[in-house]
Structure 1
């Protein structure tokens, strides 16, 4: 596979109902969102083994989705063809070290898919003892919790096309998949990983501004949230963000005045600085 070619995928056929054992290490928000998407797409819950440190959380996931749960990462990865690492960045290398010996003795290779920011493919490769282990690095974002996520993906050198397609197909059950060279993942994190927070902050400010103008908070929240939702749907069409903005901004009109205030207040520059800060921080999270 040529990692220099970007690939954007927002639709796959449903993943196979019995794709072999899938380990999901970490049953937090990201792990649960992935499990929910897989089960909804028709993957056999009995083929999914989710680990969590808290027995109460494991019981909750088992009851909600019918998946196999436990706290033993080695047990989870034993016999698995795919292992999703849904833990915090600082834990990824430790988890790989914990399961590495088991991976070495598998009859078939287990592909490791990290869902954590900042942990490079090189760092993962150094931690795993099984030579030639397929490694995939993914940066998800929180809208995957509602099936509208963005997964930025970079595949390692041992990922063959069959494994690549399988990973992309499984990720696509919770949103759009964008495949890019690994060197661009920190930049992508600054756009899609942190992007939801930017929009939430903007919406929060828009609500407060509406209240300041005399709207009740309930009405301001309804107006702002529905406006952001509808605008997002329009962005998924063929027109660019700039073209859509031009269409709603009549020369000399009220929206034009609002846009001028935003520009003169340095909103565009603030976004540039924010994304630069996120990319810099993302690059250091793996350490």
Structure 2
């Protein structure tokens, strides 16, 4: 298998590094390109055997899978550049939520899919959210998910839920890290505990909590019930949190969805041109 990546920014580099570190791909199986070629070269140097190209067309030649790890408004230009060179048996995979499968199907002559990765893939964990066009056969879906399974749990979703599942899986780590940072900062400010020690304790707590909610088979409600004794310290604090955070996550979801609709409108406009 040969896999190409157009775009080696934050998420592109996460996927590349994770696939290599997990053993899913050898560096020699990967070809990469980036608008700033020097950035692609740096990644190739980090993984001897990987090939970096200054030209996107050269990077995708002969590849089975082509990941487009670029910003939404860059898609139309990149697609215009590679469209004539893409072969029907190749699969192009967008990792960008506002770019719809319909956009890709209309402008590309090949199989198309969408995968939303997560920073948790760096630790070979978390989910990869998978969506496919009708052109992608079952065995081809299994091939892609087999690759992703080395760094995540591939989960097939309906494209209409792209934004909310991205909030939970892809944006969620940043949201949880923000809350953890606030918890640690308050602990340091209120008690004077060493910040590094507080970060270590809180981070291990978050790791263990995640394991209880996955491998341990607990639900969030079950975990709270097990920790909280009626009338105790945890119960009192949970009541305060419930009051203070009332509606916060509803507003968070409305914020991410509003930005998604804004980006989607811009993407639609970029693809709505006379051919």
- What's the TM-score, normalizing by structure 2? 0.89
**1:190·1:276 contact (CA, 8 Å) conserved in 2?**
no
Matched, 1:98 2:78: no
| Alpha-carbon distance in 1 for matches of 2:39, 2:172 | 29
* Higher relative contact order structure (alpha carbons within 8 Å, sequence separation ≥ 6): 1
**2:24·2:147 contact (CA, 8 Å) conserved in 1?**
no
* 1:83-137 deviation per Cα after TM superposition (whole angstroms, max 9, x unaligned): 011111221232122111001xx3x511010011211101111222x2xx21111
Bigger proportion of residues as helix: 2
**1:85·1:114 contact (CA, 8 Å) conserved in 2?**
yes
Matching residue within 186, 199, 214 for 1:221: 199
**2:24·2:150 contact (CA, 8 Å) conserved in 1?**
no
Per the TM alignment, residue 147 of structure 1 is displaced from its structure 2 partner at its CA by 2.2
Matching residue within 227, 236, 241 for 1:257: 236
Per the TM alignment, residue 160 of structure 1 is displaced from its structure 2 partner at its CA by 0.3
Per the TM alignment, residue 207 of structure 1 is displaced from its structure 2 partner at its CA by 0.5
| Partner SS for 2:150 | helix
Matching residue within 67, 83, 98 for 1:84: 67
Matched, 1:113 2:93: yes
Matching residue within 18, 32, 37 for 1:37: 18
- Partner residue of 1:230? 208
**RMSD across aligned C-alpha pairs, in angstroms?**
1.6
| Alpha-carbon distance in 2 for matches of 1:86, 1:217 | 36
Matching residue within 153, 157, 161 for 2:134: 157
**1:117·1:285 contact (CA, 8 Å) conserved in 2?**
no
- Partner residue of 1:9? none
* 1:44-88 deviation per Cα after TM superposition (whole angstroms, max 9, x unaligned): 322210112333322221121121111210111122121011111
Matched, 1:207 2:184: yes
| Alpha-carbon distance in 1 for matches of 2:150, 2:10 | 15
Gapped regions of structure 1 (runs ≥ 5): 1-18
**1:82·1:112 contact (CA, 8 Å) conserved in 2?**
yes
